[in-house]
A and B are shown apart, each in its own frame.
Chain A
């Protein structure tokens, strides 16, 4: 009964807090327009590009990339004073899908509501952590929508698919071509495959109202399988989604920490606002826009 009383008390408190705050909600939405910073993810491959991977029998397989996407959550920035700023997943969570990349294979993740200041690093999760998946429902409102349809397992308690990479095998000689087909998530509950990527910035990132600086980051897709040290190489057909092992899946997930590298910052790009860029990105019609491409 003690637990229940505690729940009842918490419930009552929560309701009381929620019950009379009509006015507060509008403030946030009005302020959330200025883009504080842009994470630009330039991928090493485009959909349709060919690449070569070694399978578990040491055979080289020639593949054509068909799907590459992952969920970004838990974006955090660290100030030069070591203060960690965590952005709400309802603002900063994103589905990075190579199918939506521009002609330079780049996807932009727009970050809002970062307090003005100087930052030295940024981190984000690939997928959705157990804490978030089992935590507040309303804090997952955007994640539910991002995962809807394509990044969602109905028959799993952590419903999020963290990442997908698929490629078709171009080897017509092989009677059973090994297509690449890897979907990662906390399926089965034996291992936690959520990974956090930490990116140290090469110079200080200044967040201010008059600019929307961008962090130009290279995403080396092949490094998922052949990472730089201390990463460990893994054959694509050795992991769980190919009937392989949990250990190989862990190594593969670890390699997500290896594929991102900040190349440079654009510290002084003109301020943009979120509504404009979202409209621009959704149109995909090649119209010129002062706000977007700045190279």
Chain B
């Protein structure tokens, strides 16, 4: 069996209540629980994923009206061909020319399985996540009030919201967020070569190098990039070091501080200073550049960094993750994860097997316009 698939049989129900039986879509969205994935965190009770809700969410995702001056859509920085990241951009420009954000665009994939969102865990529910990019001045810089007002002017949206949420005047912030969340929640990437190898399916043949890479990955990387999501979902200081051009960056410290007006100097004393989420490595080969600020252009650089043998080196802050420190009998510290050049070649070969071309080319997730 390829999947344990959960089919929500809602299409039948919706069709039975349709006004004139028009054909609305030629595909059906089901939330697919991959056999090798952990249980979903998505709140299906609050916001069940329906085909109509997904289609509405997709339309919103690709709609420039979510931003100030109708300049950009979510897809501006989350494009499908690169696993919904901003290919080649360390940081991304928002609606204001020349003004970039402070974090590298993260892939929109397997969000239904995550405990927290954004690099610092600013949100713990997928439903609230879009409020950040829409409202952030350096991203879409729009107010939710304006977004809702713009959508209400569009009779097509009025009809779609009414259809999905089964009431008149259905457009509000809650239903808007629910629709976006349905689209993003349904975006599951689980058909990489690695998945097929792991599940013993056709197309999952590993080369000797890839097998060797998987073994090395398990020894050297899987402590943090653990499980089938390839992340333990922790926030750690991985030694990345301060970015001198982003002086206000404090990592997770600003989230866990109970002082909403805490200064950067105060947050530097926090144990969460410069801690960031351990990212999933699915589709990692497609999501360059890397790290929270996109400072590493390719995966070889990332491995060299963790090996601590080439610039940039690991920065030894007080809260550097202990798994990156080994201490000998004299008390001397060695930082990082030792890897030989051949081992890096094998690990890189393995990482490429995490690319899911079915996901990247899935027309259901593509811009419908």
Where the two chains meet, the residues of A that have a C-beta atom closer than 8 Å to any C-beta of B are 1, 3-5, 7-8, 10-12, 14-16, 18-22, 25-26, 134-138, 140-141, 144-145, 148-149, 152-157, 159, 161, 181, 183, 185, 187-191, 240-243, 246, 249
Q: Does B136 contact A (CB under 8 A)?
A: yes
Within the complex, what minimum Cβ distance (angstroms) separates B62 from chain A? 22
Q: Are A137 and B14 in contact (CB under 8 A)?
A: no
**Stretch from B44-52, B151-159, B352-360 contacting the other chain:** B44-52
Within the complex, what minimum Cβ distance (angstroms) separates B165 from chain A? 8
A-B contact count (CB 8 A): 147
Task: Choose from B174, B258, B261 the contact partner of A138 (Cβ within 8 Å).
Answer: B174
| Contact partners of B39 in chain A: CB under 8 A | 3-4
| Contact partners of A249 in chain B: CB under 8 A | 258
Q: Does B266 contact A (CB under 8 A)?
A: yes
Q: If A18-B166, A21-B166, A157-B124 touch, does A141 touch B173 (CB 8 Å cutoff)?
A: yes
Q: Mark B255-275, 1 if CB is under 8 A from A, else 0.
A: 111111110001000000000
Q: Are B122 and A155 in contact (CB under 8 A)?
A: yes
| Contact partners of A141 in chain B: CB under 8 A | 172-175
Closest CB pairs A-B (n = 7): A188-B258, A11-B48, A141-B174, A144-B173, A7-B44, A157-B124, A15-B10
Q: Are A187 and B259 in contact (CB under 8 A)?
A: yes
Q: Which residue of A lies closest to B254 (CB)?
A: A155
Q: Which residue of A lies closest to B127 (CB)?
A: A137
Q: Are B131 and A5 in contact (CB under 8 A)?
A: no
Q: Which residue of B lies closest to A190 (CB)?
A: B258
Task: Choose from A22, A25, A148, A187 the contact partner of B144 (Cβ within 8 Å).
Answer: A148
Q: Mark B157-192, 1 if CB is under 8 A from A, else 0.
A: 000000001111000111101100000000000000
| Contact partners of A246 in chain B: CB under 8 A | 258
15 further A-B contacts with Cβ under 8 Å, apart from A149-B143, A183-B260, are: A3-B39, A7-B6, A8-B6, A10-B48, A19-B16, A22-B167, A148-B143, A157-B121, A157-B122, A161-B260, A187-B260, A188-B255, A188-B258, A190-B256, A241-B261
Task: Choose from A11, A153, A155, A187 the contact partner of B45 (Cβ within 8 Å).
Answer: A11
Q: Which residue of B lies closest to A141 (CB)?
A: B174
Within the complex, what minimum Cβ distance (angstroms) separates B70 from chain A? 19
Q: How far is the CA of A134 from the CA of B47 in the complex (A)?
A: 13
Q: If A137-B174, A138-B175, A145-B172 touch, does A7 touch B40 (CB 8 Å cutoff)?
A: yes
Task: Choose from B9, B47, B128, B261 the contact partner of A181 (Cβ within 8 Å).
Answer: B261
Task: Choose from B13, B143, B167, B177 the contact partner of A16 (Cβ within 8 Å).
Answer: B13
Q: Are B46 and A136 in contact (CB under 8 A)?
A: yes
Q: Mark B261-299, 1 if CB is under 8 A from A, else 0.
A: 110001000000000000000000000000000000000
Q: Mark B11-54, 1 if CB is under 8 A from A, else 0.
A: 00110110000000000000001000001100011111110000
Q: Are A144 and B144 in contact (CB under 8 A)?
A: yes
Q: Which residue of B lies closest to A244 (CB)?
A: B259
Q: How far is the CA of A181 from the CA of B262 in the complex (A)?
A: 12
Q: Which residue of A lies closest to B14 (CB)?
A: A19
Q: How far is the CA of A141 from the CA of B47 in the complex (A)?
A: 14
Q: Does B125 contact A (CB under 8 A)?
A: yes
Q: If A11-B48, A15-B13, A25-B167 touch, does A157 touch B125 (CB 8 Å cutoff)?
A: yes
Q: If A11-B8, A134-B125 touch, does A149 touch B48 (CB 8 Å cutoff)?
A: no
Task: Choose from A134, A135, A145 the contact partner of B173 (Cβ within 8 Å).
Answer: A145
Q: If A19-B17, A137-B127, A187-B258 touch, does A12 touch B10 (CB 8 Å cutoff)?
A: yes
Q: Mark B108-152, 1 if CB is under 8 A from A, else 0.
A: 000000001000111111011001100110000001110000000
Q: Are B257 and A187 in contact (CB under 8 A)?
A: yes
Most chain-A Cβ atoms within 10 A of its Cβ — which of B49, B136, B260? B260
Q: Does B4 contact A (CB under 8 A)?
A: yes
| Contact partners of A3 in chain B: CB under 8 A | 39
Within the complex, what minimum Cβ distance (angstroms) separates B55 from chain A? 15
